[in-house]
Structure 1
Amino acid sequence: MNDHRRLGRELDLFDTDPLIGSGLPFWLPNGAAVRKAIEDYVHDLERRNGYQHVNSPVLAKQELYERSGHWAHYADDMFPPMDVGGERFVLRPSLCPHHALIFKARPRSHRDLPLRLAELGGQYRSELSGVLGGLTRVRAMQLNDGHVFCALSQAAQEVNAALDLIEQAHARLGIAAARYRLSLGGDDGKYVDDPGLWERSEAILRGVLDARGLAYDEEKGEGAFYGPKIDVQIADPLGRESTLSTVQVDLYMPGRFDLSYVGPDQREHRPVMVHRSVVGALERLVAHLVEVHGGALPAWLAPVQAVVLPLCDAEMGFAQELVRQCLDEGLRAELSPPDRGTLGARIRAHRLVPYHLVVGAREVAGGLPSVRLRDGSQLGPLHIAQIVKSI
């Protein structure tokens, strides 16, 4: 079975330590390389689709979460407050209150809308130790988050655009959605008690799903406390489901923060807040990608994209220069010297690396490595520029 915990060890992606604590994995260099590749891709995708990137603190006063509604509806999942200088600070459970304040920090006009803000930021959940595991259930996560502030008339269009981004990113990453879920509120006290608000938000999301011709399931008790959401569900090799990407329509929080913009009539209007995450939390995403691809990540995502394999010590100088050229061209490359075993043993040790650059006396004489793919196919002698283009 393609368990990301086993493959994660083979790829040297992440680890944990009791001194840091359960549910708090740390990224090793290879894992950090995979994360950076995803971050760069998503950052560029968002930028090209009209998003502006921001950064905000990972904690704030308890008062912020009382204002947002998290404290009343979500406190059981939050870490307890810290008393600092007579003030109570809380590790944030989500980024949306910070983004609401970023919107509020400047006067806004209808000409500014839709205003699309995005951030890769840390958020924290007080998960019970019994449900923690690997990268899929953690207490600290880096979330690809974003919030669109728009007029009510623009909300359906922005939900549609967010789903376009999700589908584009999933196709690029090799992710197949298990199903779409329209997650609704419930009857307990965890949800904002405003039936009219829920009906209007649900109508927008349902209308977009129907217009796109997407099959979906409606499930009560799975929505955010402030409104309904579209959840893109994924499944692991055992068929266990989890949520990766989401789109939410929020008519609640803009009122809590008294957000407004000046409309064409020169009067103040309340914006709608569309929450969306294109690829979800990076921890869960990487776990899923490792399992989906069996550890053989696409070349652009692989922690090591090319390994240089000299046959003997006589080729070490050329091999080291080859690694340097790869690094200079922006590739993630490393050297596997002859003292680490036979060529066959070294190839097996690097079975998940996409490109094997084999260097013998003939390759040194010709100035080109012999390129082998991890599936065993041979590409023959290639120039570095050709290898870079291929990757």
Structure 2
Amino acid sequence: MNPVHDHRRLGRELDLFDTDPLMGAGLPYWLPDGAVVRHVLEEYVREVERAAGYRHVYSPVLGKRELYEISGHWDHYSDDMFPPMRLGGGEGEEVVLRPSLCPHHALIYRSRSHSYRELPLRIAELGGMYRSELSGVLGGLTRVRSIQLNDAHIFCTLEQVVEEARAALGLIRRAYDDLGIRASRYRLSLPGDGDGKYVPEPELWRRATALLEEVLDGVEYESVEGEAAFYGPKIDVQITDPAGRESTLSTVQIDFHQPERFDLHYIGPDGGKHRPVMVHRSIIGSVERLVAHLVEAHGGAFPVWLAPVQLVVLPVGDGQEERAHDVVRRAEARGVRAELSGPGHGTLGARVRAARLVPYQAVIGEREADAGCAAVRLRDGRRPGAVPVDELLERIGARDSDRGTELWAAA
């Protein structure tokens, strides 16, 4: 891998994240600039989901062992789970850090009665989950033990499944466009021999696989055995890093197993109880893996709407610092993430180089201060020249709002 684009090095250099032995391997913490990127991503995906009819929930990161016995995780996935903890001393009940959000969402669905008129019911959450990964596979943000997952579960009728799964794929494509990344391939992940890894319900597997094949009609994909979830097949949206290593970012899954295990139902038009189908889907996958990929795909030069700092203001000398502070205040009032880099941080040339990944640089000398302008430098090397501060802030705000990729579109 080109070391310049290795997120483990560049992410630390950009002060996005770090680790500490006292926290433990696979447990990175987010620094302020990384927290900005994470927050923006979380707000973005919530906005997209709300517009698509999802309702957001919060659920605990712990669950009783019995919950995962019912869901099937304990029998088929326990090797990847942290060991149980006993509450209230040695005689208390056992709880487990959750390895997945789906059992919790099944319980949320089950907590209320539902009519067919309410379906599809789309429940989404940006929630923590935990995987007991081996130390040898941990690395940066791509493989961690504490995961913040963009997850959702759609409870729907059999007739609605294909449309809902296709809509989820559409949200994934839209998000990738907005993020400036691309899928390297689509994979239909099927069960393998597994030796007990997969639930032994061949008819449910057949039905779910046939539905996913219908969802993928018109999409170029590859079928791969041995990559399914333990409860059903899935569509995996694959990404590739600069070194050519492939991983899964987003998924769409069809699940007949957990609705059966949790005895989920809805009241149909005939007044009787019917079993819903559960569609699992994640638009952007885990925030950790996504940020790692964004760092490497963009070399740290994030799209304007994701950049931790969108504008750096550079007064030439001490006499322009007050005017520069005013520009920063005005930018922040408009929602533009701005910072000041004054003469105390080095020569103007050194400060320009230090801010090379910031989309916009506003240099303020005596002439610009007197005229209420800024000499604008763009990250791509262009210099539009002296621009009124209000116009500059308006342009940055427009790029932030429309998530455009062009830094300086023609007026």
- Give distance in 2, aligned partners of 1:61 and 1:152: 30
Letter in 2 for 1:22: A
Letter in 1 for 2:134: L
Matched, 1:371 2:380: no
- Give distance in 2, aligned partners of 1:375 and 1:164: 31
Of residues 143, 155, 164, the one that matches 1:149 is 155
Superposed structure 1 runs of 4+ greater than 4 Å apart: none
Of residues 176, 191, 215, the one that matches 1:208 is 215
Between 1:156-165 and 1:3-12, the stretch displaced more is 3-12
**Equivalent residue for 2:407?**
none
**Equivalent residue for 2:165?**
159
**Equivalent residue for 1:194?**
201
Letter in 1 for 2:93: E
- Give distance in 1, aligned partners of 2:307 and 2:396: 15
- Give distance in 2, aligned partners of 1:128 and 1:33: 29
Of residues 21, 25, 28, the one that matches 1:22 is 25
Please provide the CA RMSD for this pair: 0.9
- Give distance in 2, aligned partners of 1:307 and 1:292: 23
Corresponding residue SS for 1:369: strand
Deviations along 1:197-216, one digit per CA (max 9) or x if unpaired, are 10000000011112xx1111
Deviations along 1:116-169, one digit per CA (max 9) or x if unpaired, are 010000010000001000000000010000000000111011111100100111
Of residues 75, 89, 100, the one that matches 2:106 is 100
2:132, 2:145 within 8 Å by CA — same for their partners in 1?
yes
The Cα shift of 1:328 comes to 1.1
Corresponding residue SS for 1:274: strand
2:336, 2:396 within 8 Å by CA — same for their partners in 1?
no
Of residues 68, 71, 76, the one that matches 1:68 is 71
Identity %: 65
The Cα shift of 1:390 comes to 4.1
2:76, 2:196 within 8 Å by CA — same for their partners in 1?
yes
**Equivalent residue for 1:172?**
178
Deviations along 1:279-325, one digit per CA (max 9) or x if unpaired, are 00000000001101111000100111110100000001011111111
- Give distance in 2, aligned partners of 1:365 and 1:387: 22
- Give distance in 1, aligned partners of 2:154 and 2:209: 17
- Give distance in 1, aligned partners of 2:340 and 2:83: 47
Alignment of 1:123-134 (within 5 A): 123-134=129-140
Corresponding residue SS for 2:384: strand
Letter in 1 for 2:206: E
- Give distance in 1, aligned partners of 2:236 and 2:399: 35
- Give distance in 1, aligned partners of 2:297 and 2:375: 29
Between 1:252-261 and 1:324-333, the stretch displaced more is 324-333
Of residues 313, 325, 333, the one that matches 1:328 is 333
Letter in 2 for 1:124: Y
Letter in 1 for 2:397: V
**Equivalent residue for 1:33?**
36
- Give distance in 1, aligned partners of 2:118 and 2:147: 31
Deviations along 1:194-252, one digit per CA (max 9) or x if unpaired, are 11010000000011112xx1111111110000000000000000110000000000000
Of residues 132, 143, 154, the one that matches 1:137 is 143
TM-score normalized with structure 2 length: 0.93
Alignment of 1:269-348 (within 5 A): 269-348=274-353
Matched, 1:268 2:278: no
Deviations along 1:56-96, one digit per CA (max 9) or x if unpaired, are 00111111000100000000000000000211010000000
Letter in 1 for 2:69: E
Corresponding residue SS for 1:172: helix
- Give distance in 2, aligned partners of 1:279 and 1:376: 31
- Give distance in 2, aligned partners of 1:371 and 1:58: 47
- Give distance in 1, aligned partners of 2:248 and 2:288: 12
The Cα shift of 1:379 comes to 2.2
Say if 1:151 and 1:390 are closer, same or farther in 2 by CA, change over 3 A.
closer
Matched, 1:55 2:58: yes
Of residues 379, 395, 398, the one that matches 1:389 is 398
The Cα shift of 1:386 comes to 3.6
Aligned length: 389
Deviations along 1:320-377, one digit per CA (max 9) or x if unpaired, are 1111111111111111011111111101111110010111101110112222111221
Corresponding residue SS for 2:27: coil
The Cα shift of 1:10 comes to 2.2
Deviations along 1:231-281, one digit per CA (max 9) or x if unpaired, are 000000011000000000000000100000000000000000000000000
Corresponding residue SS for 2:306: coil
Letter in 2 for 1:218: S
**Equivalent residue for 1:118?**
124
- Give distance in 1, aligned partners of 2:384 and 2:334: 20
- Give distance in 1, aligned partners of 2:380 and 2:351: 15
Letter in 2 for 1:153: E
Corresponding residue SS for 1:33: helix
**Equivalent residue for 1:3?**
6
**Equivalent residue for 2:45?**
42
